Structure 1
Amino acid sequence: MTGGFFKVECPDCENEQIVFGKASSEVACAVCGTTLARPTGGEAEFTGEVVETVEAR
């Protein structure tokens, strides 16, 4: 499985969370529950700001 991990900042509470770039299910913020990423069948669509790439393969 190829893909990368990204640090995404929540638009509501500014929590930073690591998210897989090809997430197959919705990823919610661990603090407030806002959706950070939605699956699209390929690369995930991020609703928060991508702060940095943590790991790329």
Structure 2
Amino acid sequence: MPGSFHKVACPDCDNEQIVFGKAASTVACAVCGHTLAEPTGGEAILEGEVVETVEAR
């Protein structure tokens, strides 16, 4: 099953960034460097607020 893409708001700087729901590596905010997603081997743990699902599969 493919994953989805989510727009996540950074809790530190409110930058919105698109993150893959099944990220295989740590995803950091492009502005401040705060960790937005942690890999788990399946669905990633998203640490910011999910603003919207950009592409659901």
TM-score bucket of the superposed structures, by smaller chain: over 0.9
Q: Detail structure 1 runs of 4+ shifted over 4 Å in the superposition.
A: none
For this pair of structures, how many residues does the alignment match? 57
Identity across matched positions, percent: 79
- Distance in structure 2 (CA, Å) of the matches to 1:3 and 1:56: 7
Runs (5+) with no aligned partner, structure 1: none
Find the counterpart in structure 1 of residue 14 from structure 2: 14
TM-score (norm. length: structure 2): 0.97
RMSD: 0.8
- Distance in structure 2 (CA, Å) of the matches to 1:28 and 1:46: 11
TM-score (norm. length: structure 1): 0.97
